[in-house]
Amino acid sequence: MLNIVIFGAPGAGKGTQSDLLVERYNLNHISTGDLLRKEIAAQSELGKRIKNIMDSGNLVSDDIVVAMIDQAIATDTQGLLFDGFPRNVSQAETLEKLLEKHGRKLTCVVSLDVPRNELVRRMLERAKVSGRSDDNEVTIMNRLKEYEAKTKPVADFYEKKGLHVKVNGTGDIKAISQSVIAEIDKRK
């Protein structure tokens, strides 16, 4: 069974590529950002606790997202695509343990490589239509800062394990998808 992480900075196209991967491999798409936004929309206790953190562009606490991932792995029967998780090295270590607990292993981590100026351009463009309260200039800059400081080291973590593969994330969406799929097919 496939267990894939789609990795990259905010605005790299993880969501777009995830939709195409789900179509290709019939995976269970686990986007921690989407799950957190659902909690906020439902105005649950958890949603109320995390709204301000997400609006600021900071990461929410590991416990919250790890509980969501634990649940997703425990109930999955079709293969998993993690999008927006792991966001720091501690989450990456936890993911390894959780997968192991269920007799699974990561297939690979595919990084979408996009230059910073293009990330900013895309996110500002998306801000016009997304309705996401964290798609504004101040928050976008903080999300990129959080990425540089906490998330980028996750790529090195997987590089050392031989699980990391980088794909050019600029250009035609279908062409990017073909590169991503080619890399996954080599490793599955």
Gap between the Cα atoms of 155 and 110, Å rounded: 9
- Pair 74, 22: CB distance under 8 Å: no
| 13 near ligand AMP, judged by CB under 6 A | no
Is 14 annotated in the active site? yes
Task: Name the residue type at position 77.
Answer: T
Q: How far apart are the first and last CA of the chain?
A: 8
Segment 50 to 79, residues that bind ligand AMP, using CB under 6 A? 53-54, 57-60, 65
Active site residue 122: no
Told to check if 11 binds ligand AMP by CB under 6 A, we report no
Q: Examine residue 8 and tell whether it contacts ligand AMP (CB under 6 A).
A: no
- DSSP conformation letters of 43-66: T-HHHHHHHHHHHHTPPPPHHHHH
Instruction: Please identify, using beta-carbon distances, which residue of 13 and 84 lies nearer to ligand AMP.
Output: 84
Q: Which residues bind ligand AMP (CB under 6 A)?
A: 10, 32-33, 36, 53-54, 57-60, 65, 84-85, 87, 91, 134, 143
